[in-house]
Structure 1
């Protein structure tokens, strides 16, 4: 699998490398956009992408740029940062995904939920302040002394709400704005107005009657707004915690230790101490600690969370196993072939993390909007204040109402939903796809895949199994039956490792035939076949040209199949087996081989057609073989005999015609076409080059998963559209309502929290998706 260049290797090669940072203190899309701008200003930074939902920054830098320099820039901007790459070893046991924190400050440990006590304490202190409002809804009259209101509201404002001041001040110092600044300004205005009215009133509390009517205080607005915002952020963090459940499930597959056999002694070692070549003892029911090859034993392994395959897979000596798979009821001895970050599980986790940390192109539009959003809101709030309170002194109802309306504008305009709309959908979509064996490497691929209208399939290894199998057996000598003919073919080439010979052996084993008869004087006839003496006869197995040399005439070969003819006696040029030169040859039969079509290939094409997507076959094989497979799977558009460079040309031609093209392949020769397509899709079991080049990898060699990959991309894109639509409509409607005095600050805070939860909750609905390939 592909690995990221380290700074050292980048310095040698002169290439760009990537540094990943965990960011603390972000609260809205304005924060992420601002950190991106700060990072891009650092010398040597090529690009920076900050994901609000995962709270990670992916920075592409030139050699010489260090994580420390980037962290310093983020700290100066008023946020906290930590080097996620430096924690790679610890992250093996403590996943590297979203930093879920309840406020500004250092990045929290992985997978921990934020503390709930600030929300609970704020609610306890705010409830008495909101009690009169709640009682009024029941027709009751309840008054709370003004000094008590002040005492209850102050710790909420300046202790529990201190995070808003810290982050807001950081934004002001950087000449920017964010959600925290809006909340700090709005609640501070309501709090200050209440203190002024309380101190200027002769009675000293809201319920007194000292010759003048007691003023209404707004401590409940400031305290309840802070409480609701804290509650909304905590619920939002919980929802994001659920969104990264796919990575946490994959991380949970790593056992803490491994049982190894060293020097004949079994001992338990920490997973980090496991070495390539170690013999791992995997007991029944245990997880395989790392990738390896079985050297002893046999069992069935559950690889569901790795490949999405719901049925346990049988493995025996020589079989490869993946770290994280659950052993069945057999005891296995496995030689470790990959450990740590080199295991398939680690690389799957890295792919999913990278996809969730990346940004879809549409998110760039959101970032541009968010960058201007807070300044525009501040202007609207000022206009609202002046528009409502243009006459009268501070104690008049006009200015009090004006200030409350301005506060409502500031609170409801927090752009949290806007910033969460895209990343939460991407997190949920890529996470559920990974759960079922569809690895989407980046957000851009997810965005592009939803619009695919042409899927180009490679033939060999993609639509077909990728190795020849015996498909037809025709006996021409009446003294033989199918089993005798097949056993004779096995005898003549029992020492060969040719793919067709191996196909014959597999066919014999499947039919439980007896071992082949001993062969002597076996020799290869280059380009024509093989010959050997079996018993008292010389057998020849090869092409029609070899049969012609023996003086035999053969019939037409089945279209699209590779044919080998079996003959007895006679002599062919270059063969002296058995010294039977001049003896009459006798045709025994024909064996026809082909690359078997994958069971789900036809269903895959039918499902794509139902989605309105055209399928095309692209192969370097001959036209006959290509036509046979195309007919079997239902593809009418076939390009055969195409070299790797020409494959790319076909892709380019389709794209030039206006099509959005996905290329599905598994071999090195598919890499140029995979790179040229709008979306490259690699099949499991293919070459590493293909998997590195492709944007989507299918962990099971099932063509039907291609349609599932496009379906999850479409559903995710639909969720992104829904979330962005909700976020924009919410602000377009909510801000005018607040400006015109139709929303008080408390309702505005509740609406703001509900907006973020709606966006995240809608994205989490993707977790219920299930591939049709499993139905």
Structure 2
């Protein structure tokens, strides 16, 4: 069971590491991932541990809230960065108002600027110090959250960024109070030497400037964070807040949240669609570019689907709501992005390990710095300055932001381009993939067969086409859809033939009765089983197969009457996409259930390294496992039968036109159903991981370089040190740099998919008529041949679906001289051939994984 929580109060990677460490100790928790950027936490574990998880968050020093009852996308919808930005803006402005006079008073005289006489000279040093003390106290009070949070974290032994800031600025502030006491003692006892010694050792301006500069950095960081969710917000802005609903003949404006399934909604010209649904009245064009990437508006009439966040054109439409709330396409996109942002990429484990021990090590280095310089005879003020610099410059803000900010920008960029990553892990792994396996039908090709040839034997081509149309009308086979579409485009929907009986024959085709006559339609195996002779058209058949066309055969009783050939078009962008992936060094594999000749014809013009034809649906997963032995594998598919392979692969990619089951099994969902988006997904993965590595490098490199300088290692040889104020400025801008670097991903150029409509099928159907084929070429009668053939019926146990039928059918028909017809109900195989060997037949079935219980 997986639950999501919101965690408040985290400021750096040490905070998220502390929360993960405490929650990970809870019994029943299997996995925990804390996202510093969105202040969210995803916990995987047993049921009923929610209260224990919240207690663990509290022990770590933070406040946790369960988000189970809220919308998954609430974190993004509410845009927490906006509220955070406003709070930090007000705090920065107020703090700066008090910092300006403080800096003027403390450093104005050094720059020759006029200052009030009451603050000039040795005699006014105490007043000078007290005024600075008052301004600094106000500034530190405005920023008291650093001290409250830092103190709590220290008390719970989970020191974080706030602890370092509190210790650094607090040390300067306390030292300033100590100086005031020394000045007061000196004036009270007339000790002018003491006054001269401490008169210019005040560091109030450093304490105040440190927190104000960090406020500046945090404000700029929050502003940059706000931009990271811009891609999602731009999509959400397309969903209107209200909609016009037609109820009882009246138009009523209601909130979108109040729309229910079945409501009729009026879409006026220029309005955005509020929910997913179907048009019931009107004609218009709808701009779907926000979701599909297709720049050309799509014409919508009665029966057309429309999606939320798309824009109606100049027409007036009435639609019926089909999916509302979290079920709309746009809501699912946002939920997927939100879920991806709540996960962690494997690469972030490096930062997590460092963050867990980083702050204690920095505190130890700061204490050692001050102690060593004091031991070397340095002035206490100098040693304190270096120790404070080490504390302030080492805050691990950038370290904690390096991964999540890049993930958020990357997933947001992907969502806007129609590429949805379900997790940060899939985003990282994708660019490591070595082999990409593609399903053919519907993935590389359009999945819609187009009729190219009608070859009639003994009847007219028009009569064959009409017969085929009547036979295939009840069928759900893809080839049947092609025949029906082609016939209706050629002759219309009228057909005088009367279908009296229809029976589907699994794995082979169909049987039907037309006007009292028995007809068959299906593959070559079906023709063989009914005794239809194809020898006279073998040359033509081979030519059609060589062109990548798939034949559909028809017979009247045992007399072959013709075939209809169709071919599936390669999608407009598939060739280009495969070439780009091949050029990127990926090994490309195509899987298809088609025969080998058809598969090779389609693959010959594509940049495919291997083709596996005749693949049964349940065999795709086995091919994925086979290629995984050589490296990471991505599987691209769209159908229910692709789901096991998608789940087995290292990264499963489901194209948008696919089924819900395929999308559930996948790690990446492509909204556009175009292979160019596979290229985009990989390019975005590579760019995002490169960006994360850059962020981690600079976060580590920054600390490796700056800590030694702040500790004074270069003071003796080069006189080089860092003042606490410069250290605070450098630390603040390290976080800004990381977030800004991640925002560069928004400028990444992704390959745009071209419109599929640019490649319409325009080939004319070729009508051919040949003489009737009633006997074998060598002249003897079929019935005589049948008398010489043995016939056996195998009773089989264990077959549960058409996949099983296909396995047994394949196993038997691969035997020499054997023709088999396998059925699921009853579970049996009718086998014909010369001198059939029962033992051999039984072994073939058992090798396929099933049991022969009888041979008749």
* TM-score after normalising by structure 1: 0.85
Is the 1:491–1:516 Cα contact (8 Å) retained in structure 2? no
Q: 1:518 aligns with which of 473, 490, 496?
A: 496
Is the 2:435–2:632 Cα contact (8 Å) retained in structure 1? yes
C-alpha distance in 1, partners of 2:114/2:601?
A: 85
C-alpha distance in 2, partners of 1:371/1:615?
A: 42
Is the 2:603–2:611 Cα contact (8 Å) retained in structure 1? yes
Is the 1:455–1:613 Cα contact (8 Å) retained in structure 2? yes
Give the secondary structure class of the aligned counterpart of 2:87.
coil
Paired residue for 2:249?
A: 264
Give the secondary structure class of the aligned counterpart of 2:582.
helix
Paired residue for 1:128?
A: 101
C-alpha distance in 2, partners of 1:274/1:127?
A: 54
Paired residue for 1:316?
A: 301
* 1:410-429 alignment runs, 5 A limit: 410-429=391-410
Q: CA deviation at 1:32?
A: 0.6
Paired residue for 2:704?
A: 732
Q: CA deviation at 1:470?
A: 1.7
Q: 1:163 aligns with which of 141, 145, 169?
A: 145
1:625 lines up with 2:593 in the alignment: no
Q: 1:664 aligns with which of 636, 643, 648?
A: 636
Is the 2:511–2:518 Cα contact (8 Å) retained in structure 1? no
Deviations for 1:507-558, whole angstroms, at most 9, x for unmatched residues? 35656x5564633577769747778689xx9999877749985999324221
Paired residue for 2:689?
A: 717
Paired residue for 1:153?
A: 136
Q: 1:65 aligns with which of 49, 53, 58?
A: 49
After TM superposition, the structure 1 stretch with the greater mean CA deviation from structure 2, 417-426 or 549-558, is 549-558
* 1:282-681 alignment runs, 5 A limit: 282-390=267-375, 398-472=379-453, 495-497=473-475, 499-507=478-486, 516=494, 518-520=496-498, 527=509, 545=527, 549=532, 553-554=536-537, 555-557=539-541, 558-559=544-545, 560-564=548-552, 572-573=556-557, 591-657=564-630, 659-681=631-653
C-alpha distance in 1, partners of 2:359/2:79?
A: 25
Q: CA deviation at 1:450?
A: 1.5
Paired residue for 1:7?
A: none
Give the secondary structure class of the aligned counterpart of 2:246.
strand
Give the secondary structure class of the aligned counterpart of 1:46.
strand
Deviations for 1:567-598, whole angstroms, at most 9, x for unmatched residues? xxxx93279xxxxxxxxx9x8x8642122211
Q: CA deviation at 1:183?
A: 0.4
Flag the 1:539–1:646 CA change in 2: closer, same or farther, 3 A.
closer
C-alpha distance in 2, partners of 1:130/1:477?
A: 104
C-alpha distance in 1, partners of 2:342/2:469?
A: 58
Paired residue for 2:775?
A: none
Deviations for 1:395-440, whole angstroms, at most 9, x for unmatched residues? xx61100001000000000000111001111111011001010000
1:700 lines up with 2:672 in the alignment: yes
Flag the 1:476–1:181 CA change in 2: closer, same or farther, 3 A.
same
C-alpha distance in 2, partners of 1:246/1:357?
A: 17
Flag the 1:682–1:466 CA change in 2: closer, same or farther, 3 A.
same
C-alpha distance in 1, partners of 2:521/2:625?
A: 43
1:198 lines up with 2:183 in the alignment: no
Q: CA deviation at 1:347?
A: 1.2
Flag the 1:256–1:125 CA change in 2: closer, same or farther, 3 A.
same
Flag the 1:564–1:75 CA change in 2: closer, same or farther, 3 A.
closer
1:756 lines up with 2:735 in the alignment: yes
After TM superposition, the structure 1 stretch with the greater mean CA deviation from structure 2, 422-431 or 54-63, is 54-63
Is the 2:653–2:668 Cα contact (8 Å) retained in structure 1? yes
Is the 1:532–1:540 Cα contact (8 Å) retained in structure 2? no
Deviations for 1:485-523, whole angstroms, at most 9, x for unmatched residues? 897578755855554443234335656x55646335777
Deviations for 1:86-125, whole angstroms, at most 9, x for unmatched residues? 2329x66x74576448xxxxxx6xx864341110121122
After TM superposition, the structure 1 stretch with the greater mean CA deviation from structure 2, 358-367 or 428-437, is 358-367
C-alpha distance in 1, partners of 2:573/2:590?
A: 15
Q: CA deviation at 1:62?
A: 1.2
Give the secondary structure class of the aligned counterpart of 1:286.
coil
Q: 2:160 aligns with which of 170, 174, 178?
A: 178
Q: CA deviation at 1:142?
A: 6.8
* TM-score after normalising by structure 2: 0.77
After TM superposition, the structure 1 stretch with the greater mean CA deviation from structure 2, 306-315 or 342-351, is 306-315
Is the 2:469–2:483 Cα contact (8 Å) retained in structure 1? no
Is the 1:550–1:572 Cα contact (8 Å) retained in structure 2? no
1:224 lines up with 2:204 in the alignment: no
Q: CA deviation at 1:216?
A: 3.1
After TM superposition, the structure 1 stretch with the greater mean CA deviation from structure 2, 177-186 or 273-282, is 273-282
Q: CA deviation at 1:454?
A: 1.3
Give the secondary structure class of the aligned counterpart of 1:235.
helix
C-alpha distance in 2, partners of 1:97/1:369?
A: 32
C-alpha distance in 1, partners of 2:265/2:689?
A: 44
Give the secondary structure class of the aligned counterpart of 1:612.
coil
Flag the 1:503–1:138 CA change in 2: closer, same or farther, 3 A.
farther
Is the 2:532–2:558 Cα contact (8 Å) retained in structure 1? no
C-alpha distance in 2, partners of 1:475/1:660?
A: 49
Paired residue for 2:169?
A: 187
C-alpha distance in 1, partners of 2:436/2:534?
A: 48
Give the secondary structure class of the aligned counterpart of 1:377.
helix
C-alpha distance in 2, partners of 1:611/1:591?
A: 40
C-alpha distance in 1, partners of 2:109/2:279?
A: 74
Flag the 1:515–1:379 CA change in 2: closer, same or farther, 3 A.
closer
C-alpha distance in 1, partners of 2:469/2:678?
A: 42
Gaps of 5+ in 2: 120-127, 716-720, 755-856
Flag the 1:35–1:457 CA change in 2: closer, same or farther, 3 A.
same
Give the secondary structure class of the aligned counterpart of 1:88.
coil
Paired residue for 2:828?
A: none
Deviations for 1:119-139, whole angstroms, at most 9, x for unmatched residues? 012112222333478769977
Deviations for 1:22-45, whole angstroms, at most 9, x for unmatched residues? 222111100011111122223332
C-alpha distance in 1, partners of 2:113/2:208?
A: 22
After TM superposition, the structure 1 stretch with the greater mean CA deviation from structure 2, 744-753 or 593-602, is 593-602
C-alpha distance in 2, partners of 1:204/1:489?
A: 115
Q: CA deviation at 1:738?
A: 0.1
Flag the 1:718–1:495 CA change in 2: closer, same or farther, 3 A.
closer
C-alpha distance in 2, partners of 1:330/1:655?
A: 52
Is the 1:132–1:141 Cα contact (8 Å) retained in structure 2? no
C-alpha distance in 2, partners of 1:217/1:83?
A: 47
C-alpha distance in 2, partners of 1:138/1:490?
A: 98
C-alpha distance in 2, partners of 1:476/1:87?
A: 66
Deviations for 1:342-400, whole angstroms, at most 9, x for unmatched residues? 222211111000111111111122111001000100110011001112266xxxx6110
Paired residue for 1:49?
A: 33
